[in-house]
């Protein structure tokens, strides 16, 4: 499937301080993949992408290689680049690994976190609840506005989970959590309209936070594990067991 373009503003070289053009492009393409603007299985033609993002071939090639390392893009010497496909099997694998390492990170974070960590976590929870509230009440508006609200809610969701784990004391553990979270977010956003109304995610995230700040690591881990398990259950039901996932 070829890229469907639409109007996309060119990248601004000075928009992100101390970032190279390749890094800016990588971030923009990653966001478009997670948002579903670049759909699973879409063929990524160089000519289309250079026009879409306003860049030359060199930073585009480098950005695609970086995204391939993250398994968000597939590179084939015969057919070129495509957005990585997604499936229920992949979904289950991602969440299984995410559960393993995020529960470990959370347990360590609860044990090591200080009062500043707990305060920051509460702030990130409030920001997440507000972002989700804005998204839920936005019944009107164009597609770009709704996509922007979804991206903001997704970012707030990551910032909350990042706050949960960041006191774990292991940069490597956090790198793996971040990578798997990005892949899980892709599935979550593709199905958010189908599963969002079937759960109270604010309550789920509050339960995890409450257990964490009272330093009850076992309860926090159980709450996180149940939260992730419910996410998988609803996503599988939305996409359909045993078939490739389609947006």
**For residue 15, is it within any domain?**
no
Q: Comparing 243 with 75, which gets the higher pLDDT?
A: 75
Contacts of 161 (CB under 8 A, 6+ apart): 102, 177, 181
Summarised one tens digit per residue, pLDDT across range 164-186 is: 999 999 999 999 999 899 889 88
For residues 64 and 128, state if they share a domain. Answer: no
For residues 72 and 37, state if they share a domain. Answer: yes
In this predicted structure, what is the pLDDT of residue 198? 65
**For residue 247, is it within any domain?**
no
Contact 247, 190 (CB under 8 A): yes
CB atoms within 10 A of CB 165: 27
36: left (phi over 0), alpha (psi -120 to 50) or beta: left
Report the C-alpha gap between 78 and 159 in whole angstroms.
39
**For residue 1, is it within any domain?**
no
For residues 229 and 135, state if they share a domain. Answer: yes
For residues 78 and 92, state if they share a domain. Answer: no
For residues 110 and 185, state if they share a domain. Answer: yes
In this predicted structure, what is the pLDDT of residue 202? 93
Q: What is the DSSP letter of 80?
A: E
- Cα 151 from chain centre: 9
**For residue 112, is it within any domain?**
yes
For residues 43 and 65, state if they share a domain. Answer: yes
For 137, the domain range is 88-239
Q: Comparing 121 with 7, which gets the higher pLDDT?
A: 121
For residues 109 and 53, state if they share a domain. Answer: no
For residues 213 and 96, state if they share a domain. Answer: yes
* 25: CATH: 1.10.10.10
In this predicted structure, what is the pLDDT of residue 35? 78
Number of domains, the chain: 2
Summarised one tens digit per residue, pLDDT across range 113-166 is: 999 999 999 999 999 999 988 877 765 555 667 777 877 888 899 999 999 999
Output the pTM of the full model. 0.77
For residues 44 and 76, state if they share a domain. Answer: yes
Summarised one tens digit per residue, pLDDT across range 101-115 is: 999 999 999 999 999
**For residue 108, is it within any domain?**
yes
For residues 140 and 207, state if they share a domain. Answer: yes
Report the C-alpha gap between 191 and 80 in whole angstroms.
28
For residues 165 and 197, state if they share a domain. Answer: yes
- Tell me which of 83, 101, 118 is where a domain ends: 83
Mean pLDDT of the chain: 84
In this predicted structure, what is the pLDDT of residue 244? 44
Report the C-alpha gap between 106 and 111 in whole angstroms.
9
For residues 105 and 132, state if they share a domain. Answer: yes
- Tell me which of 83, 108, 129 is where a domain ends: 83
**For residue 10, is it within any domain?**
no
Report the C-alpha gap between 39 and 130 in whole angstroms.
28
């Amino acid at each position: 499937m070829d890229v469907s373009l639409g109007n996309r503003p060119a990248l601004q070289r000075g928009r992100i301080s101390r970032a190279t053009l390749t890094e800016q492009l990588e971030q923009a393409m990653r966001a478009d993949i997670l948002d579903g603007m670049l759909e699973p299985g879409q063929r990524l033609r160089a000519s289309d992408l250079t026009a879409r993002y306003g860049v030359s071939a060199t930073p585009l090639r480098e950005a695609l290689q970086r995204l391939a390392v993250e398994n968000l893009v597939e590179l084939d010497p015969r057919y070129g680049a495509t957005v990585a496909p997604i499936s229920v099997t992949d979904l289950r694998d991602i969440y299984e690994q995410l559960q393993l390492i995020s529960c470990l990170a959370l347990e360590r974070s609860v044990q090591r976190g200080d009062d500043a960590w707990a305060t920051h976590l509460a702030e990130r929870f409030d920001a997440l609840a507000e972002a989700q509230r804005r998204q839920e009440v936005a019944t009107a508006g164009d597609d770009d506005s709704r996509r922007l609200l979804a991206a903001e809610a997704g970012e707030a969701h990551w910032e909350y989970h990042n706050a949960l784990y960041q006191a774990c004391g292991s940069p490597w553990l956090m790198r793996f959590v971040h990578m798997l979270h990005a892949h899980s977010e892709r599935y979550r956003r593709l199905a958010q309209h189908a599963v969002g109304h079937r759960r109270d995610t604010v309550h789920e995230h509050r339960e995890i936070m409450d257990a964490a700040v009272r330093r009850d690591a076992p309860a926090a881990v159980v709450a996180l594990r149940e939260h992730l398990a419910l996410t998988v259950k609803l996503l599988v039901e939305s996409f359909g067991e045993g078939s490739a996932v389609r947006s």
